[in-house]
Amino acid sequence: MAKTDAKKKPQNDVSVSAADRSATAQTSTAPTNGESAAKRRHPWLGGIDLVTALLLLGCVWGVLPARWWPVDVGATLLGALLATSGGGLLAGAPWARRVGVVAGAVTLLLGLALVTTLALTASYLSGLYGPVGRGGAVILVLVAALAIPYFVFFPAAQIVALRKPA
Amino acid sequence: MTAARLGRALGIYALVLACACALVRARTRIESAPLPARDAREWAIDAVAALAAGEAAAEAPASASRYAPAGPVFATAWLRGRPLAVHAASGRTLVDAVRAGGRSLAADATVANVQRTNRAQLSYTVALTRGRGPVILGVPLLENLALVPLYDGLAATLDGEHAYITPDELRAEGAYDGGVPTPIPDLSIGVAVDGLVSRLARSLGHDVEALESRGEVERLRVTTLVRDAYPRETAPTERELRLAAREGAQFILRHMKADGRYTYIYDGRTGRDRGGPYNVPRHAGTSYFLSLVGRLDDMPEARAGARRALMWLRARVQRCGGDDRWCVVGEDGRVELGSSALATIATADYLAGGDDPELRPMLDGLTAFLRAQQRPDGEFMHEFDFARQRPVDVQFLYYSGEAAFALVLAHQAGGDARNLDAARRVMKHLTGEGWSFFGSRYYYGEEHWTCIAAGAAREATNTDAALDFCSRWAGYNRALQYQRGETPWPSAGAYGVGPVILPRLTPIASRTEAFVSTYELARHHGASDRALRQQIELGLGALLRYRWAPGPTYLLADPLGAGGGIPGSPADLTIRNDFVQHAGCAMIRWADLLRAERSGVPP
């Protein structure tokens, strides 16, 4: 049954065998396609990822007054991912592009979750209390202005910049 | 993923989020049903009281028969500020619901018993449900903010049975603004909703799990009908302000103790001193208020009260760093600059109203101590190590401004040039290099004492820099001042940064007091600041609106004893002596300025 299925597989099927995967890995790790380590370097993206990682870890472990495992573990994992991505992109490591895309995607998803939570909370409070006043509006706009560029626009830009060339 | 596909995905996300937000807002919002007409409201109040006492209710007006309540109507019997019995009644019209509620109260054995023994102390209210809304439980902080203070109560339904907690019950318990402590001293927000839900579950004869899984918990928007409207809109005229300041002084004097101390925190729910540690700096500040009212409103009993309080302070003055230097030693043995500065302010103001050989040496000793605490750059050292007899160079909020004002008043009362020189130096520091850093034009601390000092020093020294600083500080606060309709409560004139926190009255009072000084200073410089004048009058309007005249009488154990007090916030049922002090000082000083404008004589 399995053999029959394999024969029926169309030629443009994207699934690959273990041998294929090994070959693909060799192709991407060795600079045989003309892409040198220097060309693979993304100093700006790598630098920003590293700074973001440091800020995130510094804020959570150095500034937050209490320990709460969902925040501590989540921020540490994200910080480690961004640091790895940043280091790899700075050094031009062969795996850096993929890790950078993953880091961008995870940051984007968390950013969207944060924006969603903030927006729904603001809507809930606005429904409860009515107008938020000038001071309240300034605070909401400030939070949005701080969160959206770093947690939405930048990771989205990173994903686009690091996507595989067509 | 291409840029275009990612952009499209984010665009769709934004659209879905916007729709979800609109849905959440619409679902949460309670559109309050209109109140019945005035004659129907008055009839309802009288009818419940009559029916609860076993008497016949008057004939209902047509407007009451036409009004259909949006939910249960609560008839409550109150005894000395406590809810004795709450009965929820329903009916097709207000008349039906009120009659049902009144009859339920009459049938209540507890109410009937008090009716026989203590009828004069009973009072009744009628509260109307005006809407319902969902409540989100289980999310920390959001859960605590789920009830709009003063307006929202809770309703629980399980197996066809109902239980309620009304906003008045929550106020009587002091449950509003107590749910979440904040890092700011004396400030907590929200309601401990989980405890209330447990209570509702218990009153339904079940546990919380049963209520949450099989029942429903909702918010109820409720309005209480009362004869004595509170809050009460009052225009800040000279007459109203004088009356309010005078009644504030009477409140303080009424609760003053035989030894010259004040009641530090008056609890409206018991009609008594709440107890706890006494606060010496606030004792001194309150004495200043009494002295000021005595002087500006010709109130000899206030002046006599101030003297008694100052004599109590005098017994706590000791030598600090030299025979000529006197400082106020706190109850805990600590010597902080603020206590001595405020004692100087009160003493100097008292002496400005007439000399007193027993108090004059105290002023000289206190000012010598203040001057000795000053650094070469003008700043003050805010503590004094009594054991080692030497200053401690630390700084706290308020103290430098208090010392500046103290030295200015002491100079006015005694003419000692050293006091004026010290005041000039600290003013230069506070309004110059002391508040000069990147961003200092966009952020300010609590500068009310600094600007009160600047206003008082206007005749004696160059105040150009002080006027610039205080005008900027006033402008900064103007941006934070609520206008009509910016919060769920009538908060025009209060200061705050969002509707979640009920406005506090003391910041309105202390800032308004300082803006009166800034206004006088601006006028001294030939400027007419109309925006500042509006800001002051809006602030005074907020203080007049929320002062207890007579206040929420059914929530007070002794409404007559509480009259004239100023609570900490619209939901607060306690009065700390400095709440009255700051509000009273702002009121009497603006009234005096209005009098001067009327008579053409500068204040």
| A11-15, A115-119, B106-110, B279-283: segment of lowest average pLDDT | A11-15
Q: What is the total count of domains within chain A? A: 1
Domain residues for the domain of A77 are 41-162
Instruction: Look up residue A66 and give its amino acid.
Output: A
A118 in a structural domain:
yes
Please tell me the predicted confidence (pLDDT) of residue A19: 40
C-alpha distance from A163 to closest chain B C-alpha (Å): 7
Nearest to A148 by CA among A113, A101, A106, A115: A115
In chain B, residues under CATH classification 1.50.10.10 are 238-599
**Cα-flanking dihedrals φ and ψ of residue B84, to 5°?**
-80, -40
The alpha carbon of A123 is separated from its chain's Cα centroid by a whole number of angstroms, namely 27
Q: Give residue B434's pLDDT.
A: 72
Q: Which two tokens stand for residue B84?
A: 């004795």
State how far residue B168 is from chain A, nearest Cα, in angstroms.
18
Question: Which chain B residue shows the shortest CA-CA distance from A101?
Answer: B1
Summarised one tens digit per residue, pLDDT across range B198-226 is 999 999 999 999 999 999 999 999 999 98
- Give how far A153 is from chain B: nearest CA, Å: 10
CA distance A19 to A3: 17
3-class DSSP string for B438-454: CCCCCCCCCCHHHHHHH
Q: pLDDT band at residue B518, thresholds of 50, 70 and 90?
A: very high
Question: B238-599: which CATH number, 3.30.460.80, 3.30.470.20, 1.50.10.10, 3.40.50.720?
Answer: 1.50.10.10
CA closest to A137 among chain B residues: B498
A residues 15..54 contacting B (CB < 8 A): none
Question: How many angstroms separate the CA of residue A84 from the nearest CA in chain B?
Answer: 22
Q: What are the pLDDT digits (tens) for B223-274?
A: 999 888 899 999 999 999 999 999 999 999 999 999 999 999 999 999 999 9
Question: Chain B: which residues have CB within 8 Å of chain A?
Answer: 1-3, 6, 10, 13, 17, 20-22, 24-29, 133, 136, 142, 145-146, 148, 479-480, 482, 485-488, 496-500
ipTM over 0.85: no
Q: Measure A159 CA to nearest chain B CA, in Å.
A: 8
Encode burial over A146-160: b for 16+ CB neighbours within 10 A, e otherwise: eebebbbebbbbbbb
The confidence band for A6, taking pLDDT boundaries of 50, 70 and 90, is very low
Q: How far apart are CA A80 and CA A107, in angstroms?
A: 12
Q: Looking at the domain assignment, is residue A36 inside a domain?
A: no
Chain B contact present for A146, CB below 8 A: no
User: Hey, are the CB atoms on A128 and B29 less than 8 Å from each other?
Assistant: yes
Closest Cβ–Cβ partner in A121, A139, A160 for B142: A121
- Residue B509 near residue B245 (C-beta atoms within 8 A): no
HEC string of B104-133? HHHHCHHHHHHHHHCHHHEEEEEEEEEEEE
List, for residues A29-64, the tens digit of each pLDDT value.
444 455 677 778 899 999 999 999 999 899 999 988
- Round to whole Å and give the CA distance between B394 and B403: 14
Cα gap B332→B327, rounded to integer Å = 14
Q: Tell if the CB–CB gap between B499 and A115 is shorter than 8 Å.
A: no
A116, A133, A156: residue with CB nearest B482 = A133
A62 part of contact set with chain B, CB < 8 Å: no
Chains A and B form CB pairs within 8 A to the count of 88
* Model pLDDT for residues B24-47, shown as the tens digit of each residue: 999 999 999 999 999 999 999 999
Around Cβ A38, how many Cβ atoms within 10 Å? 8
Cis omega before residue A149 (within 30°)? Answer: no
Q: Which of B12, B17, B489, B502 to probe the A interface (max A CBs under 10 A)?
A: B17
pLDDT reading at B312 higher than 90: yes
Which chain A residues contact residue B28 at CB under 8 A?
Answer: 123-124, 127-128
B245-281 core/surface letters (b: 16 or more CB in 10 A; e: else): bbbbbbbbbbbbeeebbbbbbbbbbbbebeeeebbbb
For chain A, how far is it from start to end, CA to CA, in angstroms?
A: 36
Cα→Cα distances A58→A76, A86, A146, B94, Å: 10, 16, 17, 61
3-state DSSP percent of chain A in helix, strand and coil, to 5: 80, 0, 20
State both tokens at B77.
């019997």
